[in-house]
Amino acid sequence: MKLGYNEIMIVSMYFNDINDFINLEIGIKRFQGNMERFHFNPIPLNQYSRKLFTNIETFHIYNEKDKIFNDGKIFKKVTWYEVDYSTYLQEKEAGNICKNIEIQNMIENHMEIQYHQKLNHLDINVLNIVQQ
């Protein structure tokens, strides 16, 4: 069985850094242009690597220190690091997605929680209140 373009994209989503992508494209002529097929960034980007992923429309932010690019091609952001509920609401209003939402002390503050997506974890304070 040979790896095709779709399969190599799936495999390369698990690469650790930009050098892995470069080595794939240099080492195997058939997979040149693999980075151009991505419409999201599978790894954190810097100024250099951003130029190699030319077709990004959804920008994934993996940690707070990631450089955020706002060039005209990016339409949506997906945040993977932990954010508080108010930040989530701001991002949601802007059309972005947060994957790791901290809802600490939300019930104590009498704020409504709308379950528009799955929560990755619940803060221990929330669990204690719910169990009482």
Domain spans of the chain, in order of start: 39-131
Do 120 and 88 form a contact (C-beta atoms < 8 A)? Answer: no
- pLDDT on residue 58: 96
pLDDT at residue number 73: 87
What's the pLDDT at 116? 46
pLDDT value at residue 94: 95
Q: What is the pLDDT along the chain (132 residues), one digit of tens a residue?
A: 788 999 999 999 999 999 999 999 999 999 999 999 999 999 999 999 999 999 999 999 999 999 998 887 899 999 999 998 889 999 999 999 999 988 765 555 544 554 544 555 555 555 444 444
The sign one gets for the Cα dihedral 115, 119, 123, 124 is positive
* 67, 47 contact by CB (below 8 A): yes
pTM: 0.77
Helix (H) or strand (E) holding 77: strand 76-79
- Residue closest to 48 by CA, chosen among 27, 21, 9, 73: 21
Neighbours of 62 (CB within 10 A): 15
Three-state secondary structure readout of 13-56 = CCCCCHHHHHHHHHHCHHHCCCHHHCCECCCCCCHHHHHHCCCC
Report the SS3 class of residue 97: strand
What span, in angstroms and rounded, lies between the C-alpha atoms of 44 and 16?
A: 9
